[in-house]
Structure 1
Amino acid sequence: MRYSASHKLETREKLLQSSALSAKQSGFSTVGVDGLMKAIGLSGGAFYSHFASKDALFASIVERELRQSLERLGADRGRDKFERCLKLYLSMSHVEHPETGCALPALGAEIARSDPLIRQQAEHWICQLQESWARVLESDSLAWAILSQCIGALVVARMLITPDLQRRVLKSSHEEIGRQLAGPRT
C-alpha cells in the first residue's frame, strides 16, 4: 500500500518528535530502531523509508532540538527576556523533565561522542545561541560563561538525587549569574 507524501512527512515528524523525547529522557543510544518505531506504532522496517541510518536520525534530532532551543532561548528580544529565560532554564521543572527542555544538558555527552558532522552541526547552533546572548549582554566571554554555567548547573542538578541539593545547585548558579550580569563587562 502506498502512502501520500503528506503521510510520510507526518510519520517522519512523529518519529523525530518521539525519538527526541526518548533521547532527552533516556539517551539516544539506549533505544534501537525497532523500539523507536514501536513508540509511534510502526514496524522497525519502516524506519529506513524515513532515515538512512540511526545516525541520520540523531543528526536530525540534534538539528531540530538545537534550532528550537535557539528559538526559545535566543535573547534577541532584550535583556528582560534573557533573564526570564535563565530563571526558567535553572528551574526544578527543567531538572525533572529533561524530555521537554534543552537538548544540550541531556544529549551533550552523546553529541561529543558523535561523528564530526553532527558535532559541527551542534557547534553551529550553539554558536548562534551564544552570539544572540553576546549581543544582549554586550560581551562575548560573558555569554560563553553563562551558557556554560547554565548547561553545567543543569547536568550537575540532574546527577544529584536529593531535591534540596538540586535546588541549591540551581539557586547558587542563578545567584552567581546575577552577580556576573551586575558586574563590569569585559
Structure 2
Amino acid sequence: MWPAYWYCRHALISLLHAGINCCMMLVMRNSPSNIRTAAKEASHERIVDAAARAIRRSGYDGTGVADIMKEAGLTHGAFYAHFASREAMLAEAADRAGAEANAAAASVIAAVPPERALQALMQVYLSKEHLESIETGCPISALGSEMPRQSPEVRRAATRRIKEMVDLVARQFPDWGQPGAHERALVTVATMVGTLMLARAVNDSALSDALRSATLKSLSLAKPASTD
C-alpha cells in the first residue's frame, strides 16, 4: 500500500506544481508591466499607421507631430515616448507605406496565373482607383518629388521599399534572374510611377486617362514573350 500511496502523493504534488507554474505564467503575462508594454506597442502602431497615411495625403513637409498624435488618439506629449525625433517617425512612416504598397502589389500578383501577373499589376497600378487613392496608394508616386529634400533615414527607408518593388516586378518576367529582367523591371517601375505622378499632376481628366492608357499599352507591348 505504501508505494501506491507514495506514487499518488507524488502525482498530486506534481499536478499542484504544474498548476502553480501555469498560474504564475498567467500572472506574469498579465502583469502591469506586460500590459503597459502591449499598450505602448499598440499606441506606436497607431502613430505609424496615421503617419503613413498622412505623408501620402499631405507630403512629408505637411505632416506634423501634433496632427499625427491627435489622429492616433494620443497626447502631443506622449510622442517622445515612441520616437527620438520627427524624422524617426517619418522614416517609420515611409517604411510602413512602402511595405503596405508592396504587400498590395504581391496580393494582386498572387490572385492571377503567373503569365498574367505583370499585366494585372500594371492595370491595378495605373487604374483610376489607384490614381484617386493617394492616402493609401503607392508612396513612391505620391512622394517621389519630395525625396531629395528628406533626411538620410527617410530616404533609406523609401529606397529599401523601392528596391523590393523592383525585385517583385523582375520576378514576373520569364527570364527572371538574368540582367535583362532586372533592367526591364527598373524601366517598368519608373514608367508606372512617373505616369501616375503626371496623371495626378494635371487638372485635365482626359489627359490623365490618356497618360495611363498609353503607358499601359506601351508596357504591355514591351513585355517579352514567355519562354515556355
Normalised TM-score (structure 1): 0.88
> What per-residue deviation string (whole Å, max 9, x for no partner) do you get for residues 1-42 of structure 1?
x97211111111111111111211111211321111122232
Of 24-33 and 90-99, deviating more is 24-33
2:220 is equivalent to residue 178 of structure 1: yes
DSSP-derived class of the 1:31 partner: coil
Match for residue 130 of structure 2 among 94, 97, 101: 94
Counterpart in 1 of 2:16?
none
Match for residue 6 of structure 1 among 38, 47, 67: 38
DSSP-derived class of the 1:149 partner: helix
DSSP-derived class of the 1:4 partner: helix
Counterpart in 1 of 2:103?
71
How far the C-alpha of 1:58 sits from its partner, in A, is: 0.8
Residue 156 of structure 1 aligns with an amino acid whose one-letter code is L
Point out where structure 2 has 5 or more consecutive residues left out of the alignment: 1-32, 176-180
Cα distance change on mapping 1:121 and 1:31 into 2, 3 Å = closer
- How many residue pairs get matched? 184
The 5 Å alignment of 1:160-175 reads 160-175=202-217
- Find the aligned partners of 2:126 and 2:68 in 1 and give their Cα distance: 30
DSSP-derived class of the 2:223 partner: helix
DSSP-derived class of the 2:154 partner: helix
Point out where structure 1 has 5 or more consecutive residues left out of the alignment: none
Counterpart in 1 of 2:145?
109
- Find the aligned partners of 1:183 and 1:160 in 2 and give their Cα distance: 34
How far the C-alpha of 1:54 sits from its partner, in A, is: 0.9
CA RMSD of aligned residues (A): 2.3
Normalised TM-score (structure 2): 0.73
Bigger RCO of structures 1 and 2 (CA < 8 A, at least 6 apart):
1
